Structure 1
């Protein structure tokens, strides 16, 4: 009986350790996708950037935060509070003159091995000047052993309208 309990205990511990290792591996892979995404903006590498996304239509939605939207409305009362795009259009927009970078922090990843969500704070920079900041959320799926981005939704606050609070 003692041997059976010992074997069951060892099995339980090794199973729990394996499960945590797999979760850590998935989170590490997802963190690498975020790092690659940011690196592709700096290097303007469209081939690698496009490979991060699922080949089906993806969701790309930005929503203006209240202070930025109020400022936009003061100049044009017909301005919508959100916009949609595609990752291809976004990437093409950074090919004008200038250096672009996105920084992320306060990353939280929730995944079950097949689907994942990654939420984080971000700031978007052009020529070393912060343009906007907000919260970003990605939906990811694991297809044929590879994580792919299915959706990106984010809030937008213009730094010139409402500077990002200093993080402690």
Structure 2
């Protein structure tokens, strides 16, 4: 009986709270963003330049796309990797991860292999001088896809130019 009363109580609570969550009414300005076709084209150019810089191993072009050299640039490792690395470095994932950009980008553009990052389902959401870009990707080395996932960029418009402020992505290896 106690269990039935508990279930009924929880059910009634959900019926009272659920309409608040499901409510679609909001002020008319919510979801109205400041965007222009020119900005979208400029953001799309950064996206294509990023891909071209990797493919052509153009370090200077790649560096020019970032706000600065100290951006957040990281893919969250699996818990197994975190545990393994913490055996050697207790502060792993607590230190500034921006050095990952230098390591990852260095690999992508200096290896003897041909590398390419392909983007799919690219979506751009812009509001004034801030843009969120997200897409599905796969990474290809010497013509063979090696991993895939989804990637998210925060971009800022500074001095009239769009720059990448952060890059985060999921990582799913493809087994051979």
Distance 1:139 1:76, change over 3 A: closer
Alignment of 1:22-61 (within 5 A): 23-55=36-68, 57-61=70-74
Q: What TM-score do you get using the length of structure 1 for normalisation?
A: 0.71
Q: Distance in 1 between matches of 2:82 and 2:150?
A: 25
Give the ranges of 4+ consecutive aligned residues of structure 1 lying more than 4 Å apart after TM superposition.
none
Q: Does 1:126 align with 2:132?
A: no
Q: 1:89 — aligned with what?
A: 103
Q: 2:161 — aligned with what?
A: 146
Structure 2 residue runs of 5 or longer lacking an equivalent are 1-32, 87-92
User: Root-mean-square deviation (CA), in Å?
Assistant: 2.8
Query: Quick check: which one's strand share is greater?
Result: 1
Q: Distance in 2 between matches of 1:27 and 1:145?
A: 13
Q: 1:4 — aligned with what?
A: none
Q: 3-state DSSP class of the match of 1:151?
A: strand
**Alpha-carbon contact 1:131-1:160 (below 8 Å) kept:** yes
**Alpha-carbon contact 2:51-2:117 (below 8 Å) kept:** yes
Structure 1 residue runs of 5 or longer lacking an equivalent are 1-19, 162-168
